[in-house]
């Protein structure tokens, strides 16, 4: 049984356990909004890809094929892989949403991501029309999924003149589970991630934007680590940067944890003091022979404003100038916002039903 579901009832509060469904109770009728697999837990292997449509390309037929392919891949790998934990999620960027003539008005907080400029570091903004998040217990599943996706967006051609590609892959990152869920920096990544039913609550749109119930705001960044500088820090100093003890993964007490530590600045609240969270699915990646290692940051949230507030605190600081010390060792090289529509919306555009 797959967990990660919050059930919001108008007249009753009773938890249900089911797979990626958001149930809205209204006058004794239940409407089902099936989300993509945004609340699945991190897997052992992941591929992240960002695609940009080519100017003048016939993108709508390709998108319709992708919507059908997405359903096919997810269903197939539930059957073909152990524990059914291989999944594919697709996100659509602001420009692509408009070009594809997807539903209007757009999701309330879907817009081009703008750079967040701090006193020392910048959360850069980079282009992207489509994003694919592929998870698998085995890399073979991820490989087959990205191959099928690439065959739609950029099929192999016998010659340049016969190229029928509609999009170019701007980035392909292969992530992997590092020991007990640690980043390459040596600390456990995602300790504060929501678990159980909280994942659906924090990751999936509900009544705040009724037209897009079951969808999720998907934000990604590629961080490269300066491992030489990081390795030169004594463990005690590394712990002050993160705000946790390295081996035990226990958070430092408030009186000990620095105000500019990562855990201090990424813990956020709303105006009433309520806790705000995102669902992270970060993965380490790297090519040690080339000296390139990092973390691919991916956040699912019911509102992008939550993720943006966290980024603001990290890069600008709270108060301004008190930025996240981890940025002195990890550089954000990309930054893109997408929206992962519910499966109900994708089905409307699927080549299998159009």
Burial tier of 10 (Cβ tally within 10 Å: 0-12, 13-18, 19+): exposed
CB 68 within 8 Å of CB 152:
no
The structure tokens listed for 28 are 């004794």
- Give the residue numbers marked as catalytic: 189
Strand partners, 251: 244
Longest dimension (CA), the chain: 65
What stretch of H or E contains 237? helix 235-242
Return contacts of 283-291, CB within 8 angstroms, 24+ apart. 283/42, 283/46, 283/48, 283/173, 283/175, 283/176, 283/177, 284/175, 284/176, 284/177, 284/178, 284/182, 284/183, 284/184, 284/189, 285/173, 285/174, 285/175, 285/176, 286/184, 291/227
Task: Measure the CA–CA gap between 150 and 156, rounded to whole angstroms.
Answer: 9
What stretch of H or E contains 242? helix 235-242
CB 7 within 8 Å of CB 14:
yes
The structure tokens listed for 245 are 């003890």
Task: Measure the CA–CA gap between 150 and 171, rounded to whole angstroms.
Answer: 12
């Amino acid at each position: 049984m797959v967990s990660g579901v919050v059930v919001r009832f108008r007249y009753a509060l009773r938890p249900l356990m089911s797979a990626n469904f958001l149930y809205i109770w209204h006058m004794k009728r239940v409407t089902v909004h099936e989300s993509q697999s945004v609340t699945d837990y991190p897997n052992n292997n992941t591929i992240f890809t960002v695609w940009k449509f080519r100017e003048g390309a016939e993108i709508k037929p390709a998108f319709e094929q992708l919507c059908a392919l997405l359903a096919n891949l997810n269903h197939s790998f539930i059957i073909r892989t152990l524990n059914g934990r291989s999944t594919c999620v697709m996100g659509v960027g602001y420009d692509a949403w408009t070009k594809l003539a997807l539903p209007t008005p757009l999701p309330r907080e879907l817009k081009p991501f703008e750079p967040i400029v701090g006193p020392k570091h910048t959360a850069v903004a980079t282009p992207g029309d489509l994003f694919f998040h592929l998870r698998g217990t085995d890399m073979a599943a991820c490989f087959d999924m990205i191959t099928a996706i690439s065959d739609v967006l950029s099929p192999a051609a016998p010659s340049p003149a016969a190229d029928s590609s509609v999009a170019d892959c701007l980035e392909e990152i292969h992530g992997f589970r590092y020991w007990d869920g640690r980043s390459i920096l040596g600390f456990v990544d995602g300790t504060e991630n929501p678990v159980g039913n909280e994942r659906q609550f924090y990751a999936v749109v509900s009544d705040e934007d009724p037209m897009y119930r079951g969808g999720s705001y998907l934000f990604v960044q590629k961080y490269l680590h300066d491992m030489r500088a990081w390795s030169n820090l004594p463990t005690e100093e590394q712990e002050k940067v993160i705000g946790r003890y390295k081996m035990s993964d226990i958070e430092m007490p408030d009186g000990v944890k620095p105000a500019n530590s990562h855990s201090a600045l990424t813990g956020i609240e709303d105006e009433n003091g309520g806790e705000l969270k995102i669902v992270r699915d970060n993965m380490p990646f790297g090519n040690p022979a080339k000296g390139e290692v990092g973390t691919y940051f991916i956040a699912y949230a019911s509102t992008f404003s939550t993720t943006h507030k966290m980024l603001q605190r990290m890069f600008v600081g709270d108060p301004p100038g008190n930025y996240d010390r981890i940025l002195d060792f990890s550089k954000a090289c990309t930054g893109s916002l997408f929206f992962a529509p519910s499966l109900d919306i994708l089905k409307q555009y699927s080549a299998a039903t159009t």
